[in-house]
A = this chain, B = another copy of it.
Amino acid sequence: MGLITETELNAAAGVLAQRDRFSSIDLTALLGAGTTVGPHVFIDAMAVVGEQCTIESGAHLARGTVLENNVFVGAHVAFATAPGSMQHPVVVKQGAWIGANASIVAAGIVIGAKAIVRPGSVVTRSVPPGAIVEGNPANIIGYVDATQGPPGSAQAAVVQNRASVETTPVKGVAVHHFPVIPDLRGNLSVGEFDRQIPFKPLRYFLVFGVPSRELRGEHAHRQCHQFLICLRGSCAVVADDGVHRVEVALDSPDRGLYLPPMTWGIQYKYSADAMLLVFASDYYDRDDYIRDYAEFTALVEAKA
C-alpha cells in the first residue's frame, strides 16, 4: 500500500478536485493512492487509510482507525475513539461498505472483508466477512453472494415421503430429507448412520437457548464431518467451500444438513425456541478447527 501524507494529499488537490474542502486530516494520518476524501471529513491521528477508498462528507475516523483497500465510508459515518493508545483500533477489511450515518461504536471490532453495514446502523460487535448488517444495534440480516438453498420444510409444497438427498452448489454439502411416518401413535423420523448419514458419529451436541442475534459456528474443520438437524424452531446455516456459498434454512426435524470437512459454516437466525442437534464424526480436537476465514481460503486454494 503506497501511503501518502496530508502534505502530499494537499499537493494532489487536482486529483481530489474540490471535495476535500474544509476537511481536517491529522498530520500523522496516512492515506493510500486513489483514495478520495469528501468535504468536512475528520481523520484523527495515526489513522491509516488504504488505496482506492471513498470517504464521504462529514465522516469521522477516530484515532488509529484502519481502513484497508477499496473501503467505502458513507456520509457522517462515525468511528469509535480508541482512547489513549493504538492497541484496539477499529479495523475495516478490504472491500467493506459502510452506509451513511452508521456508527461503529465499539473499540477493537473488525468489519470483515466485503461486509455491508447498511446506513444508520449502530455496530457494536465485529461483522463477519461478507455479512450484511442493519439496525440499532445492528444484526446480521444476510450474506453477500450466498445462493439460497432448497426451501425450508415449512415452505415446501410437497411433503417428502421417502428419504432423498439434494445437492447444493457448495462442494459436498447436501440437504438430506428424511421421511416422516405418521401413525396414530405419533410421528416417527428415522436416520441411519453410514447409510443415509455419510459417517458414524463419535459425538453429538445440542445447541439451544441462543439469542436471536447470535452467530454460532464461523469455522471450518480439517477432518471432522458434521450433520445438523434443527429439532424445533428454526435457524439458517451458511455453508461455504471457499468458492461458493449457500444459505440453507433448517426448520423441521425431517431435514438434515451434511457439512464435509473443509467447509466453512455459520449458523444464525435462530428462532427463540430453536434446538439444533449436531452429529460430529470425531471427538473434540482443538487442532481440527480453522477459525480464520483467510487461512481457510488459502488452504482451499492450496489444495486446488
Q: Does chain B have a CB within 8 A of A188?
A: yes
Give A155's nearest chain B residue, CB to CB: B182
A232 and B275: CB pair below 8 A? yes
Given contacts A101-B101, A158-B157, A158-B158, contact A40 B18 (CB under 8 A): no
Cβ of A118 within 8 Å of any chain B Cβ, yes or no, is: yes
Chain A 202-246 per-residue mask, 1 if CB under 8 angstroms from chain B, else 0: 111111111100111000000000000001100000000000000
Contact indicator A283/B136 (Cβ below 8 Å): no
Does the CB pair A42–B75 fall under 8 Å? yes
A257 at the interface (CB under 8 A from B): no
Q: How far is the CB of A37 from chain B (nearest CB, A)?
A: 12
Given A101-B76, A120-B136, A158-B158, do A40 and B42 touch, yes or no (CB 8 Å)?
Answer: yes
**How distant is the Cα of A214 from the Cα of B232 in the complex, in angstroms?**
21
Rounded to whole Å, the gap between the CB of A188 and the closest CB of chain B is 6
Q: What does the 1/0 interface line of A105-126 toward B look like (CB < 8 Å)?
A: 1000000000000111110000
Beta-carbon contact of B18 and A21 below 8 Å: no
Assess whether A186 is in contact with B161, with CB atoms less than 8 Å apart.
no
Whether A269 sits at the interface, judged by CB under 8 Å, is no
In the assembled complex, the Cα of A155 lies from the Cα of B57 at a distance in Å of 48
Query: Pick the contact of A157 from B42, B74, B134, B159 — CB < 8 Å?
Result: B159
The oligomer's copy count stands at: 6
CB pair B203 A192 closer than 8 Å: yes
| Interface presence of A3 (CB below 8 A) | no
* C-alpha gap A60/B275 in the complex (Å): 46
Contact with B along A1-32 (1 / 0, CB 8 A): 00000000000000000110110100000000
A120: chain B residues within 8 A (beta carbon): 103, 105, 122, 136
A60 contacts which of B58, B102, B136 (Cβ < 8 Å)? B58
* Residues of B close to A299: CB separation below 8 A: none
Q: What 9 A-B pairs have minimum CB-CB distances, sorted nearest first?
A: A186-B210, A120-B122, A78-B100, A105-B119, A42-B57, A60-B75, A24-B39, A103-B120, A101-B103
| 26 A–B contacts from the bound complex (CB under 8 Å) | A22-B22, A24-B57, A39-B40, A40-B58, A58-B58, A58-B78, A62-B75, A78-B119, A79-B100, A80-B119, A100-B105, A103-B120, A121-B136, A122-B136, A135-B137, A136-B136, A157-B159, A186-B209, A187-B208, A187-B209, A195-B283, A200-B201, A206-B253, A231-B232, A232-B273, A232-B275
